Amino acid sequence: MDGLKPIQVAALRNNREFLELLLALTIPFLSVSNWSFDGITKYMLSKAAVGESQVKEATSLNSASLAGPQSAGSQVKEATSLNSASLAGPQSAGVSSSAKGDSMEANLRGYDAYKNENYIGAVDAYTQAIDLDPSNATLWSNKSLCWLLLGMAETALEDAKQSRTLRPDSGIACYREGAALHELQGCC
């Protein structure tokens, strides 16, 4: 599934809840005339969108890695508290397609763990994703949030600073750094 965005994978897996969540977070593709579940799914299943091998690979994978037990509405709310770009962010330069795909899978595991309030599991998954794609500022930001939720403000601050170093103009990275600093000041 090299080169596919999460919304494309969700369409190929026929995962309505996840795709509808991503609709609000992904910039519409010019080549998709109907920016809806049906429109994107129809486009992705056409041979013009992807090669047959990618369609076969995406549809054969377990869609549980993209599905959650909650409704799409609650997923939208939670995705905005985590960094929403983590679900549809740009691919990092200098990282192989294979590593990008593996990093995306680890990122999705981190997101699932986060929304289930398994913050230690989320930190582990985001760490795995970072090991594969260390230049992805979003992964560092999301891991920072999980550390903060675990009460580990110093570690959260380190990860937030790394996120800001990689993407200095990111408002969410600044917010994560500020939240960690605020927590540290409250502990003194």
Collapsing DSSP to helix, strand or coil, 6 comes out as: helix
- Under 8 Å between Cβ of 144 and 167: no
Task: Give the residue from 50, 70, 90 where a domain finishes.
Answer: 70
112 and 68 in contact (C-beta within 8 Å)? yes
For the entire predicted model, the pTM comes to 0.54
Res. 114: pLDDT tops 50: yes
Question: Domain containing 64: what range?
Answer: 1-70
| Residue found by looking up tokens 């054969």 in the block | 60
CA distances from 99 to 84, 92, 113, 134, 164 (A): 21, 10, 21, 11, 23
d(CA 16, CA 30): 21
Q: How many distinct structural domains can be found in the chain? A: 2
The answer to whether residues 96 and 188 belong to one domain is yes
State pLDDT tens for residues 74-86.
433 443 345 544 4
Residue 29 is classified by DSSP as: P
| pLDDT over 90 percentage in the chain | 37
CATH code of the domain in which 179 resides: 1.25.40.10
